[in-house]
Each structure stands twice: as structure tokens, then as C-alpha cells.
Structure 1
């Protein structure tokens, strides 16, 4: 009981630190930060924001820092796989960093070197720790956090009010063909023999980040029928003949009043149709119901804009309660290079989540 109370107090302290982030406006979009899957940590003692993401170095991660969310200074490599405890060999993706118990913990995805059957996508989730938000981060155990028996990516951690911790991740599409109306339709067109899917799972996380508690629970997946109102936008990678896969990935959880909001990304991360939706629940492990207003963030090139491929977001909550949607996208000027965007997001009194983006204008104080 005493240990549970200590963990609960630490979680409340972490939430307080998050809420005490400076009241600022988003900067110009896109930022001059060439990363995908962006995540921002606010370090209260230094009054500094740290931005992490996919890219910037080979087999590792870099960080940028800012005091105003406008001007960003590169900090160099904060995690490098050239270390004794490294278990990953390539494809280092989706870093998220959490301040916890006086340390900083980096959750990330990578290709596991333990690969006796030579799988092409042998991804797992790892945890590295550092004394400072700019690292260096050192792997905790020399192996992944856990092995569910299938490839997984995109870790996100939620610190519950009751002291429990929850881990969310995405099962990869790799070798995961799923029967659905879209799969039958694509086969009838002569396009694809099968459609692989990625699904979002959640599970309780051990308080010391040493592993998971219980069995992972399926929370979100692409729709199986054409009548489902999510089917059109979550199937665009297939219907536009980009690839024989449908994704549900890049999940992030936060609480608003008495509801849990899970934002997630669908479609091919390298394509123009990458977009964000959300679902709500009354418990961190669901059941979740997808919003009728999805997608809440998507390309605007079909409406005269210059942004596409918007997705894999994180959420930064400011001291005044406002939330910022931090995501990556591409522009007609920058081509395939993913860049970081920050836009404000709101939730109406009726509970509707709105992302005010993608924008490419200058936000003023």
C-alpha cells in the first residue's frame, strides 16, 4: 500500500510538471526540424522543451531544445546503438521521453537482433535511461521491454491518476493479413491478394518499467465492413493503391474530464493520406469508440494547401490547460522530408476533439 501511494504521488507530480509548462503559442509551421514521429518533453527545472523524433542520425536519436516552442537548437545524438546493452540493429523509430523518479526514460522501437528466422520486420520496444533530458540514454536491460510474439512499434505511456502505468503500442502489419470487406474488394479489383493490418494494444506497465502486467488488450483496429463510417478514410492507402496495408498506429492517450482520448494515425506513413483520428473510453484500457468526426487532422493539398502526410502525433499540455498537437507532415516545397508541425487542439463542451491544422501561418502571441 505504501509503495502504491508513493507511485501515485510521483504520477501526480509528473502531471503537475506537465501543466506548468509555459503559456506559449505554436511557432511557424513547419518547424525547421526534420524529424518524424515527434514528441515534446517539458523539463520544469530548466524551463526548457526537448523535442525528439525519428531521424537525424543512424541507429539512434537526436534531440532539439527550445524555451519558447519557436526557436529550436539541435542537441546532437542523445541515444546511440553503439553501446554494450544495445539490442536493436536498425530502424530506430518513435522515441518518447518521460521524466520519472528523478530519471529520464526513453521508450523507442527498433529491429531486434534476436532473429533466428530472419524476419524482415522484427520490431520490439525498448527502454533506455538517462540523468538528463539530453542524454546520453543507456539501455536498461540489453533486451526489449517484452516479447508478445509479433513485431511491435510506437510505444506510448500513460500515467494514471490512481498510480497505475499503461503502455500502448501498435502490432505491425507484417505477416498479419486480416479478412475484411476492403480486403475482398481489393482482391476483386486484382490489386492485392491480401491486406495486412496493424492494431493498437494496451497493457498495464510495471512501475519500474521492467515489464508488463497481464495480457495486452486489443483496443483499436481498422474497420471490417464498408458500412463502418471509418472505413473510407482508414482505407485510403489501399483504395489509392499505395500499398496492401491498413495501419492503426502512433497512438497517444490523455484524459479530459472523465473521458480518455486516444489519438491514432491511419494509412501509409510515407504517403499523402496519413491522417489522425481519435477514440474515447471511460477506462485507460477501453473499450474505445471511434469518433464520428474522424479524421481530425489530414492533408490540405486537395483544398489549395501545401501539407500532406500529417500524422503520428503527440500531445503537449500547457500550464493554462491548452493542448498542442505535435505531429509530422510534408509540404509541396520540401517533398518527402518529414518536418515537425505544432498546432493547437481543443475539445468542445460536447466532447468533440478539434485540431486546428495543418497550418502554415505565423502564430502570434
Structure 2
């Protein structure tokens, strides 16, 4: 029996659910290739620090670390670059901005990252510090915290209940050290773990939950799954407990990040879906993914299926009557073979960052779009839509649709042909028909320009 195109679209997008049942899309970031997720829960927000694979990467080509944040686990806001190789001017600048992790202590935020030093093929672990989660992070020492020694990569950090901080790292061995309270120095020896799990490869993720210590990690290459071990103390011995996720031939690598947030538990990793959506050739162009899980009563973690396109359920809806950053996205048509048009080729939106505006949406072309999941318009219909835009090619518009890309049109905002790039202004249009919790699609229309206009933020009005 032939599958109708509409049914295929619904299956691929999981957007034919009843209104209000919003879910995250996997991969959770589509505007860039991202890897090595390091989630941090702080003051009611999930901050997701990631490595960044360059668009033209074949092997590993990584120059900076980026940040995304969410309060609902379905929509993620691009917070931009928070640190880069330039943060550490004494390091190799051409590559090697590998897997980071950030932790908060005493009002400061500490970023640990593995990089390379000039004149040596070996790795070091550097530390940078910031006054807020979004940085900018600044080099804390002017030199490595740990190393250089080959295999000193993938740092993971946790502060125990007694205030003692531990830093683990390593490939293929696992090491740890006790950090001092200043978080930029350590006391005692660097210890190689004798009880390393048999399938440990790299990418450790160390944390404590209830009375259990956990060490999740990328399991033996290749391909890599996610394994984990547990211990009764912060330094082991580590008892292998199995796989959080089995290896999958579609992904040579992996890197876990596990957090609890608003009473739910989440594991992050990555796949290569966006790379393979563009080419059948394997490149190191990865995409961060996420799923919700529940611990077993004894604290063990049940085996999870491989990442699919349906992510975790949305925790709470978006309030559209406050300012919403345009770079808050559940899904966008960034990839060239778009999930809504499986056999069509089209450019997609991305984001830019500057000192004046921070992060905003740019490279908007005809038929590209942004989906915001689970927007709560309330019982009284919205009356107007306002967007902060810059530039505007002739005839450029933002088409507002509900629930799906071909859903009901609630209004069309005329953007062009007024304004110059970099000159921001608010534009307004009357809207109708929006009540309750709905998915919002902002579909961009226009011709004759590589980038039709830029968008900084939006909101609805009663």
C-alpha cells in the first residue's frame, strides 16, 4: 500500500498529535552541528554547553564552545559562543576545541575543556571562569590545569555533598584529581582508576544522585554506545552496570550528559542525522540529541532505545505574550534536505551574534521556517504579532501558521521592502484564531535575496 505524502510528513515530524501534546524534536539543535553535550541545571534553567563541528568538517574541526538553554525541554534558545580557542591564546588555535563541561560554585562558573598545546601532540585540560552561565568565559590560569599527556581529554566535574570537587577525564584510561575550593587548582596526586569499566572508552560523565555515584561514558569504539558504572564513593571502585544505550552503526562516537530537571531525568548524546541528511558520506558533523528516562527503584538506569526523531515531552508551554527570542527553536529548516520536504533541497536559517544585539536569526531564505513547540495563547485570542526585524527584501513576509507548516494562517507580517541590515525596528500585524496550546510555525517568504531579513525577537499581544 502506498504511503500518502501527508502521512509521511506526519510520521517524520510527529506533528499530527492533538494540540497541546508538544514534544521535542531530535536532534535538538539544527542551526549548527553540535557535539559532546554538557547540560547544567542552574536557577530553574537547563544550560546546554556543546562542542561545535564546523560546517565544512571532514574529520574533527572544532574552534569554539556554544551554549543553548531551555526551560521546557522542547524549545532551545541559542545563547551563542561562550568561549573559543582564543580564550586560551597559549593553545593551538587551528583545531581541538573538544568536549567541555561547566559547573557553578560560589557565584562563579567554571568551564573545563581539553585542548592542545603548541609544539606537542599531547592534550591538556584548561579552565576558564565567568560571572554568569552565558559567559564570556576568561582564561583562569594562563596555562594548563592538567597535562600535557596524551589522552587527557573529556573532563567531567562534580562537587560532592561535603564540598569536595572531583575532576575526572580520559581516553582510553580514566583519571581523577581532587580540586581545591578555588576550582582552578588541585591537591594530591593524579590517580589512574584501576576499576575502570571493561567497556570504557572516553567521554566520562560523573555525578551523584541520592546515595549513588554514577560514571556514564562512551563505550568501547567503534561504534560507541553509552555505558555506565556505579559506586558507593566518589573515587570508586566502579561497578559496571550495563548500557544506557547500545552502540549503533549510524554513529561512530558518543558522549553522554545526564541531569535531573523539574522532577524528570534526561540523557543527552549525539548522532549524525543532520550530516547524513545532507550527504551519504560520514563526516564528523554531529548533532546533539536528548531523551527522557526513569531510574529503576534501585537507582540503575534502564536501557534506552537509540535516538529517534521524537524527543522528550514538553514540560511547560511557552508564554507568547512576553518577549521571545527569535533564536528559540524546536525545529527549523536548517538542513538542506528538510524533514518536511524529504526530497527537496533548500537553504535554511541560522543564527549570528554581535556585541550590540547578542544572538539573532539570519540567513533567512524563501520557504525556510522556525517551529516553536507548545505556545499557550490562552482562552482569549491573540490580536497582534510583533517582531523586531532588520533589513527587508521586497515582498518579504513572515507567515504565521498553527500546528503544522500547512496549518491555519493566523496572520502575515509584511517585512519588506523597508530598513537596512543592522537597523532594527518593530513591525506589527493583526492576527486571528489563536487560542489554547498550539505549535507555532513562522514561515519566511520572499525572493531575490540570499538573506531576506533578520529577526531578533517576537511577541503576541491581546
Normalised by the length of structure 1, the TM-score is 0.68
Q: Distance in 2 between matches of 1:290 and 1:84?
A: 36
Match of 2:214 in 1: 261
Equivalent residues of 2:37, 2:255 under 8 A apart = yes
Equivalent residues of 2:151, 2:173 under 8 A apart = no
Shift of 1:338: 1.0
Structure 2 counterpart of 1:212, from 181, 186, 193? 186
Match of 2:229 in 1: 279
Q: Gaps (5+ residues) in structure 2?
A: 1-20, 55-61, 315-462
Q: How many residues matched?
A: 277
Match of 2:300 in 1: 352
Q: Distance in 1 between matches of 2:146 and 2:248?
A: 39
Equivalent residues of 1:343, 1:357 under 8 A apart = no
Shift of 1:104: 1.4
RMSD: 2.7
Q: Distance in 2 between matches of 1:220 and 1:265?
A: 18
Aligned 1:156-167 pairs, distance under 5 A: 156-167=156-167
Q: Distance in 2 between matches of 1:159 and 1:222?
A: 21
**1:202 matched to 2:176:** yes
Q: Distance in 2 between matches of 1:101 and 1:263?
A: 26
Aligned 1:281-296 pairs, distance under 5 A: 281-291=231-241, 294-296=242-244
Q: Distance in 2 between matches of 1:314 and 1:84?
A: 24
Match of 2:254 in 1: 311
**1:61 matched to 2:65:** yes
SS for the counterpart of 1:251 is strand
Q: Distance in 2 between matches of 1:84 and 1:149?
A: 18
Normalised by the length of structure 2, the TM-score is 0.55
Q: Gaps (5+ residues) in structure 1?
A: 1-23, 173-197, 224-229, 235-246, 302-306
Equivalent residues of 2:84, 2:97 under 8 A apart = no
Q: Deviations over 1:146-203 (max 9, x none)?
A: 2364440111111101111101010x4xxxxxxxxxxxxxxxxxxxxxxxxx111122
Equivalent residues of 2:225, 2:248 under 8 A apart = no
Structure 1 counterpart of 2:112, from 98, 107, 116? 107
Match of 1:329 in 2: 271
Change beyond 3 A, Cα 1:92–1:310: closer
- Structure number with higher helix proportion: 1
Match of 2:36 in 1: 37
SS for the counterpart of 1:287 is coil
Q: Deviations over 1:95-136 (max 9, x none)?
A: 1111221121111010012x3xxx43x211011111222221
Match of 1:79 in 2: 83
Q: Distance in 2 between matches of 1:84 and 1:43?
A: 26
Q: Distance in 1 between matches of 2:143 and 2:83?
A: 15
Q: Distance in 2 between matches of 1:285 and 1:329?
A: 30
Tell which deviates more after alignment, 70-79 or 123-132: 70-79
Change beyond 3 A, Cα 1:352–1:82: closer
Change beyond 3 A, Cα 1:26–1:161: farther
Q: Distance in 1 between matches of 2:228 and 2:181?
A: 27
Shift of 1:83: 4.7
- Structure number with higher strand proportion: 2
Shift of 1:220: 6.0
Change beyond 3 A, Cα 1:315–1:220: farther
Q: Distance in 2 between matches of 1:88 and 1:31?
A: 30
Shift of 1:350: 3.4
Equivalent residues of 2:174, 2:196 under 8 A apart = no
Q: Which has the larger radius of gyration?
A: 2
Q: Distance in 1 between matches of 2:211 and 2:101?
A: 25
Change beyond 3 A, Cα 1:146–1:359: closer
Equivalent residues of 2:90, 2:117 under 8 A apart = no
SS for the counterpart of 1:82 is helix
Equivalent residues of 2:167, 2:177 under 8 A apart = yes
Change beyond 3 A, Cα 1:220–1:248: farther
Equivalent residues of 1:85, 1:140 under 8 A apart = no
SS for the counterpart of 2:205 is strand
